[in-house]
Structure 1
C-alpha cells in the first residue's frame, strides 16, 4: 500500500485556506483520477469528482513522486 505524504505548504497553507478539504479526498483522487496531467516543475495534476462536495472536481497537485501532495482545490474550470 502506498504511503502518501503532504508538503509543509499543504499542511500549513492549503488546509488553513480550505478547511473543508479532507486528506482522504486527495488520496482518493490520486488513486482514481478522471485525468492526470504532467505540470511544469516536475509536478502532476490529478482530477477527480468528490461526492461529498456535490461531485465537484478536485484538482490535486503532487510532486514528481506522485505520492507527496502539495496542493488541492475545487477546479471550477474542469472540462472533460
Structure 2
C-alpha cells in the first residue's frame, strides 16, 4: 500500500495506534460502501469484527494511496 505523509504522521495518534494494516487492506479491497468526495478523494468503510467498529479509509483520487484512517463512530452501514 502507498501512504501520504499525513497518514504516516496521524497513524501514531493514541486513538489510531491499534489499527492494523490488515484491516486497512480489507477496507480498501472489500468496502461495504464507497463515496467519492467533491475533492475526488474516496471514502470506504468496512466492519472490523475484532474491534466491533466500522473503519473508514480515505484514499486519494488514485484509489490506492491511503490518506487517513479512523474508526467511524457515526457510520451505521449504508448511512454515509
For the aligned pair, the TM-score class normalised by the smaller chain equals: 0.7 to 0.9
Kindly report which structure 2 residues correspond to 1:1-80, keeping only aligned pairs within 5 A, or say none.
Answer: 4-13=1-10, 15-17=11-13, 18-54=16-52, 56-79=53-76, 80=78
Q: Which runs of 5+ in 2 are unaligned?
A: none
Structure with bigger helix share is: 1
Q: Report the TM-score, using the length of structure 1 for normalisation.
A: 0.86
The count of aligned residue pairs is 75
* TM superposition outliers: structure 1 runs of 4+ over 4 Å: none
Q: Shift of residue 30 of structure 1?
A: 1.1
Alignment RMSD (CA, Å): 1.0
Q: Report the TM-score, using the length of structure 2 for normalisation.
A: 0.86
